[in-house]
Chains A and B, each alone.
Chain A
Amino acid sequence: MARAVKEDKWTLADLADFESVLTSDDASRGARRIYRETVSPQLSSDLDEATRRRQGLRLWLEAKRGDDNLAGQKLESGLRLAGLVVKVLALLAGLGIARGLLQELPMGGGRGYNIWLFLGVTLGLQWLFLLGGGVAWLLFRKSGRLTWSQELLSFLGRKFAGSRLGPTWSRLIQMRSEGYGSVLGWRLASISQLGAVWLGFGIVASFIGCLWFLKVNFYWESTLQSFSETQLVRVTDGLSLPWSWAGEQWRPGSYGVEQASLEVLRDPLRAPDPGPEEEVNRVWMRFLVLAILVWGILPRLVLYFYCVAREKRALASLDFQESRHRNLWREMAKVERTVVKTSQADGVVLLDVGGSGLSVESVRPFLLQQLRVNPESVHQTGVLDASKEEAAVEAMKQAALGVVMAVEGWSLSGPQMKRNYEMVRGVIGEKKPIRFLVVGTVKGDQVTEVDETEMAEWVKFVDGLRDPAVEVVKWES
């Protein structure tokens, strides 16, 4: 096998292969053989049931998937392409946003960034989404619903992976490991976090580009109390808290905020010396770049790694509890009790000679207890209906312990009975026993014992047959 993988670890691509193999009709064909020959020998016996199943199915997949199974590769390339599209779009969006936020200064004389707007759009909105997404995730993770960004990525990925992968894709979306969610879901989430990282890069790149090539001011203006100077100082101080140790040139502080106020900028009395103004602008630039890196990109990276870790956890704790998985695993791992049909081999055919209508029940206890044989069936011979004879012949061939010929005491007619005996002997062969069971008369369920004189005649008749495998027995109630 070309794939160099650790055979007991699952990847998303494996899962896709697995599900696509399972969709085929002959998925479970040969499962038991594969289990016995390749899976079971590699599974150590001290594993818990869940791990056994996880590793066992993985080994099964290794044995089962051909090199032509491309589901996993398609899925991965679909996801890569979707990721690429998202990254490019995010980058472009980032570039656009930072460029779009650069506007003509209200009083003319160059361009500038409105600080409130910049922070609001680049960080505020993102955090709004992030918090909204987080809440939605907390609420809906049980139901397994995807967030809108996962949904979008799933749509793209599915398109790029090709329509053949459709059913597999849906299964993967629904499939979750107990407590760790869906593997594909986490993958989509991590891709969308990467998208957000690239959005941040776009913003930073375009921001720095604008500052490089253009003359840019930073300003704020507000008539609203909540966007006042003190608020801005508070916000910038708060944002720069992580790098507050780095010194004044990395955060604007109240001086920088004051200097960026539109009133100050407008003030015609300001010193014509651009020195301090340049310096304030540089501080703002450094601050904003850092703010986006730390508050925009870093959280996304953290989330990205979190999603990657969750994906790993989900893979490591796959429980394969969906019915198709359970069926496959059962099919593979079941021990099968072999049904062994033994019997006592004590069966005889009760042959009702002359059609007295003798029932099995009436002589059964006697046959069981005295002769230790079990009358499996009763048949008639010496009757008008010839078809009954045929059935009797068939049954006699099967009987393990020969034939019991039930006769009524009065009915002994030598030549006739001898022919009956010869017929039976002919059917069952030389060795098997024949027993004459002599009763008195049979009237329905009533059976009487034979009297002594009649019995003596029967004994004489049987002796005359000179067959060691023949017995004569008197029925007793």
Chain B
Amino acid sequence: MSDLVPKDIPTFAVVGKVNMGKSSVLATLLEVDDDQVIRISSTPGETTRCQILPVEFDGREMIRFIDTPGFARPLEAMRAIEQMHADSGASGSPGLAAIQAFVEEYGGTGEFEDECQLLGPLVDGAGLLYIIDPSKPLRDTFIAEMEILRWTGRQRMALLNEKGEEPEYRDEWKNRLGSYFNLVRTFDAHEARFDERRRLLKSLLEIDEDHRDLIEETIVFLEEEWTQRREESAEAIISFLEKGLGYRVEKRVEERDMEMPHRREKLGQELTKRYYDQIAKMEKETVEKVLHLYRHHLGRVEVTATDFTGIDLEQQETWQKWGLSRSQLAIAGGLTGGAGGATIDIGTGGLTHGLGTILGAVGGAAAAFWKGSELPDLALDLQKGVKLAHGEGTALRLGPPKNENFAWILLDSVLGHYREIVSRAHGKREELVLGHDSMKGGIVQSIKGEDRRVLQKWFTSCAKSKVDRSLEPEVFTVVSKVLADLNRS
């Protein structure tokens, strides 16, 4: 036994021809998107040496994978091994001894350097995962590789890393692999989600009986970790909604600023922009947190105020794409407060004028303030007669939008980001851009009616800044259920 393959830790070498996606498979399986750790590129020969990739929990190594350079000259290597086997006077086909002799003979000479590198761990006792790309034709060089691997006598599993859909030679490969390997599985390094990763780890149980306990424990840990991440994401999403819906922009203005129509309009735009800037910032932070939880470093979140100001909440199209439809919202109990202005407390002593007053056009101070279409989408709370440095003025508080679909839109967009994040494989190396433009929305529409009602009730309480804490456990359950569904689909 060597340092490379410890006796008490299940160890698997990932082997195959160059550029088949060996490193990508490992990067996805082990959730490494850092190119400093696992280098992936279209250049054949990117992996030049054996690289140990341990799975550790709380500092204890549980499983070890070894990334290897690909086969460079399998045919010649095969012949050399056969030759050495024949020279040693043994009969039958070569075995582990011949491979060992080959590695000893050529190791460090520069001849068959890659083959020696990749066979090293196998000689030392590692199990092996043979990666192939079934869109490539099955040529003799592959047969040579498989032959050599069979001679090692190690437990071995073949993985078809399907790079595109419907690879041309899949069936041919499958037939052939069956006779060389204990197990044949598919694993798409660019698409595999948690379920597929877990399945792959479970398959390891079949090729390594000796370390069953450690492998099983690892799977349990990974499952727990996965649940934990989901719960923490749910927590982050809930706290985003609570903060976002409860957020208000505030400004105190002098009386004369309110008298000029163009100043009023400018003020309205400025405050609306400030409001949405902050919402966008909160969403960005939330999504970044989720990215971090799922160990993604190549994600960039692009959410800006324009993503929100660009949405016309009253438009039918908006309702189809984002959030709930009008009738769904009504059933969830969202269209309660008459014109949808339920988020505002009306009538705190005649000083505060809620939206209801404005729409009622009772001629309150606020109605005079922003007329008709000038009126911002945001709920407005206005208090006259506050003390300013010079005389009296008016205090304005804006937000959230009067339209109750807004909460659902916020939820929809973070769920959309979440879906992209959990379905993103770590083996991909291009940047993952998370924005509103590319997002489809509509996830909240699949939430069940009863759950929607719970959420709506809670949203309303958040928008009033009187968060109903007793609903929290239920809200958490609902959100984590949705996240679990997104993990699966």
By a beta-carbon cutoff of 8 Å, the part of chain A in contact with chain B is 143-144, 174, 176, 178, 319, 321-323, 326-327, 330, 334-338, 340-346, 364-365, 368-369, 372-374
Over the window 36-55 of chain B, the binary record of Cβ atoms lying under 8 Å from chain A Cβ atoms (1 yes, 0 no) is 11010001111111011111
- Range of interface residues on B (Cβ < 8 Å): 35 or more
Cβ contact within 8 Å between A326 and B476 = yes
Q: List 17 A-B contacts (CB under 8 A).
A: A323-B235, A326-B235, A335-B57, A335-B225, A336-B57, A337-B55, A337-B225, A338-B58, A341-B37, A343-B36, A344-B47, A368-B43, A369-B43, A369-B44, A372-B45, A372-B48, A374-B39
Query: A340 to chain B: which residues have CB within 8 Å?
Result: 53-54, 56
B327 at the binding interface (Cβ < 8 Å): no
Stretch at the interface among B156-164, B183-191, B350-358, B465-473: B465-473
B169 at the binding interface (Cβ < 8 Å): no
> Measured between C-beta atoms, what is the minimum distance from B257 to chain A in Å?
42
Cβ contact within 8 Å between A341 and B57 = no
Cβ 8 A contact of B113, one of A323, A326, A341, A372: A372
Cβ contact within 8 Å between B235 and A327 = yes
**In the complex, A205 Cα to B45 Cα: how many Å?**
98
Over the window 315-352 of chain B, the binary record of Cβ atoms lying under 8 Å from chain A Cβ atoms (1 yes, 0 no) is 00000000000000000000000000000000000000
B84 at the binding interface (Cβ < 8 Å): no
**In the complex, A248 Cα to B183 Cα: how many Å?**
90
> Measured between C-beta atoms, what is the minimum distance from A387 to chain B in Å?
25
Query: B44 to chain A: which residues have CB within 8 Å?
Result: 365, 369
Over the window 459-489 of chain B, the binary record of Cβ atoms lying under 8 Å from chain A Cβ atoms (1 yes, 0 no) is 0000000000110110011000000000000
Asked if A364 meets B48 with Cβ closer than 8 Å, knowing A144-B470, A330-B228, A336-B58, the reply is no
**In the complex, A345 Cα to B36 Cα: how many Å?**
10
Closest partner residue, chain A, to B56 (CB atom): A338
Cβ contact within 8 Å between B476 and A174 = no
Closest partner residue, chain B, to A336 (CB atom): B58
Asked if A344 meets B235 with Cβ closer than 8 Å, knowing A330-B228, A336-B58, the reply is no
**In the complex, A463 Cα to B202 Cα: how many Å?**
56
B59 at the binding interface (Cβ < 8 Å): yes
> Measured between C-beta atoms, what is the minimum distance from B72 to chain A in Å?
9
**In the complex, A344 Cα to B49 Cα: how many Å?**
6
**In the complex, A63 Cα to B477 Cα: how many Å?**
29
> Measured between C-beta atoms, what is the minimum distance from B478 to chain A in Å?
12
Cβ contact within 8 Å between B58 and A335 = yes
Query: A365 to chain B: which residues have CB within 8 Å?
Result: 43-45
> Measured between C-beta atoms, what is the minimum distance from A398 to chain B in Å?
12
Query: B265 to chain A: which residues have CB within 8 Å?
Result: none
Cβ contact within 8 Å between A322 and B36 = no
Query: A321 to chain B: which residues have CB within 8 Å?
Result: 473, 476-477
**In the complex, A471 Cα to B164 Cα: how many Å?**
42
Cβ 8 A contact of B57, one of A337, A346, A373: A337
Query: A369 to chain B: which residues have CB within 8 Å?
Result: 43-45
Cβ contact within 8 Å between A342 and B231 = no
Query: B106 to chain A: which residues have CB within 8 Å?
Result: none
**In the complex, A341 Cα to B52 Cα: how many Å?**
10
B232 at the binding interface (Cβ < 8 Å): yes
**In the complex, A343 Cα to B38 Cα: how many Å?**
7
Cβ 8 A contact of A176, one of B46, B114, B470: B470
Asked if A174 meets B49 with Cβ closer than 8 Å, knowing A335-B221, A342-B37, the reply is no
B238 at the binding interface (Cβ < 8 Å): yes
Query: A174 to chain B: which residues have CB within 8 Å?
Result: 469-470
Query: B59 to chain A: which residues have CB within 8 Å?
Result: 338
Over the window 85-124 of chain B, the binary record of Cβ atoms lying under 8 Å from chain A Cβ atoms (1 yes, 0 no) is 0000000000000000000000000000110000000000
Cβ contact within 8 Å between A373 and B48 = yes
Cβ contact within 8 Å between B473 and A322 = yes
Cβ 8 A contact of B476, one of A323, A337, A374: A323
Query: A372 to chain B: which residues have CB within 8 Å?
Result: 45, 48-49, 69, 113-114
**In the complex, A176 Cα to B224 Cα: how many Å?**
26
Grouping DSSP codes into helix (H, G, I), strand (E, B) and loop, the A interface class, with mixed when no group exceeds half, is: loop
Cβ 8 A contact of A330, one of B43, B232, B473: B232
**In the complex, A341 Cα to B37 Cα: how many Å?**
6
> Measured between C-beta atoms, what is the minimum distance from B432 to chain A in Å?
19
Query: A374 to chain B: which residues have CB within 8 Å?
Result: 39, 48
Cβ contact within 8 Å between A343 and B470 = no
Asked if A337 meets B56 with Cβ closer than 8 Å, knowing A174-B469, A323-B235, A368-B43, the reply is yes
**In the complex, A176 Cα to B472 Cα: how many Å?**
11
Cβ contact within 8 Å between B472 and A322 = yes
Query: A330 to chain B: which residues have CB within 8 Å?
Result: 228, 231-232
Query: B221 to chain A: which residues have CB within 8 Å?
Result: 335, 337
Cβ contact within 8 Å between B224 and A344 = no
Query: B53 to chain A: which residues have CB within 8 Å?
Result: 340, 342
**In the complex, A77 Cα to B221 Cα: how many Å?**
44
**In the complex, A335 Cα to B470 Cα: how many Å?**
29
Query: B56 to chain A: which residues have CB within 8 Å?
Result: 337-338, 340
Cβ contact within 8 Å between A342 and B57 = no
> Measured between C-beta atoms, what is the minimum distance from B120 to chain A in Å?
14
> Measured between C-beta atoms, what is the minimum distance from A410 to chain B in Å?
29
> Measured between C-beta atoms, what is the minimum distance from B63 to chain A in Å?
12
Closest partner residue, chain A, to B475 (CB atom): A323
Cβ 8 A contact of A344, one of B34, B51, B54: B51
Closest partner residue, chain A, to B69 (CB atom): A372
**In the complex, A343 Cα to B23 Cα: how many Å?**
12
Closest partner residue, chain B, to A329 (CB atom): B231
**In the complex, A335 Cα to B114 Cα: how many Å?**
37
**In the complex, A341 Cα to B38 Cα: how many Å?**
9
**In the complex, A178 Cα to B472 Cα: how many Å?**
12
Listed from nearest, the 5 A-B pairs whose CB atoms lie closest are A338-B56, A321-B473, A372-B48, A369-B45, A346-B48
> Measured between C-beta atoms, what is the minimum distance from B160 to chain A in Å?
25
Query: B36 to chain A: which residues have CB within 8 Å?
Result: 341, 343
Query: B45 to chain A: which residues have CB within 8 Å?
Result: 365, 368-369, 372
- Name the residue among B48, B49, B69 with the largest chain A CB count within 10 angstroms: B48
**In the complex, A327 Cα to B472 Cα: how many Å?**
13
Docked complex: B7-48 residues within 8 A CB-CB of A: 34, 36-37, 39, 43-48
**In the complex, A101 Cα to B288 Cα: how many Å?**
73
**In the complex, A338 Cα to B55 Cα: how many Å?**
8
Cβ contact within 8 Å between A344 and B48 = yes
Cβ 8 A contact of B49, one of A178, A323, A346: A346
Query: B57 to chain A: which residues have CB within 8 Å?
Result: 335-338
**In the complex, A279 Cα to B51 Cα: how many Å?**
105
Query: A334 to chain B: which residues have CB within 8 Å?
Result: 224-225, 228
> Measured between C-beta atoms, what is the minimum distance from A308 to chain B in Å?
23
Given A330-B232, A338-B57, A344-B39, list of 5 further CB < 8 A pairs? A321-B476, A326-B235, A335-B224, A368-B46, A372-B48
Closest partner residue, chain B, to A32 (CB atom): B58
> Measured between C-beta atoms, what is the minimum distance from B390 to chain A in Å?
41
Query: A327 to chain B: which residues have CB within 8 Å?
Result: 235
> Measured between C-beta atoms, what is the minimum distance from B25 to chain A in Å?
16
> Measured between C-beta atoms, what is the minimum distance from B75 to chain A in Å?
18
**In the complex, A40 Cα to B190 Cα: how many Å?**
38
Query: A319 to chain B: which residues have CB within 8 Å?
Result: 473
**In the complex, A322 Cα to B477 Cα: how many Å?**
10
Query: A344 to chain B: which residues have CB within 8 Å?
Result: 39, 47-49, 51
**In the complex, A321 Cα to B469 Cα: how many Å?**
12
- Name the residue among B53, B469, B476 with the largest chain A CB count within 10 angstroms: B469
Closest partner residue, chain B, to A370 (CB atom): B45
Query: B34 to chain A: which residues have CB within 8 Å?
Result: 341
> Measured between C-beta atoms, what is the minimum distance from A468 to chain B in Å?
15
> Measured between C-beta atoms, what is the minimum distance from A184 to chain B in Å?
13
Asked if A368 meets B48 with Cβ closer than 8 Å, knowing A330-B231, A335-B221, the reply is yes
Query: A335 to chain B: which residues have CB within 8 Å?
Result: 57-58, 221, 224-225
Query: B55 to chain A: which residues have CB within 8 Å?
Result: 337
